[in-house]
Amino acid sequence: MNKLEAFYYSHKKNFEYALWHIRTTKYQIKEISKKNGGKRILLIPPPFTKIIQHKLNEILSSQYKPALKQFMVLLKRKTVK
């Protein structure tokens, strides 16, 4: 069993609550001003949902790390004009 599956099964009620909570409270919509005068729309999840999303991000990031060193080598060889 991988980390994601273990996390899901140990917190199944929390997942169900987070999904229910999204349906009832929805995401908050906020607008912020951009430098060019336009507006950027932000969709902010409910706090409990944000916690679940953060934990899922930690688990997935630990399992799928990009090969950044290999990418940097390719960038050093390529000249940008």
Q: How far is the C-alpha of 38 from the C-alpha of 8, rounded, in Å?
A: 40
Tell me the pLDDT tens digit for each residue of 42-79: 999 888 888 888 988 888 888 776 665 555 555 555 55
pLDDT of residue 34: 93
Q: Model pTM?
A: 0.58
The chain-wide mean pLDDT, for the chain, equals 80
DSSP-derived secondary structure letter, 35: T
**Residue 66 Cα distances to 41, 56, 57, 60, angstroms:** 29, 17, 14, 11
25 is written with which tokens? 């409270």
Tell me the pLDDT tens digit for each residue of 4-44: 888 888 888 888 888 887 788 888 999 999 999 999 999 99
Of 18, 39, 21, 17, which is closest to residue 30 (Cα–Cα)? 39
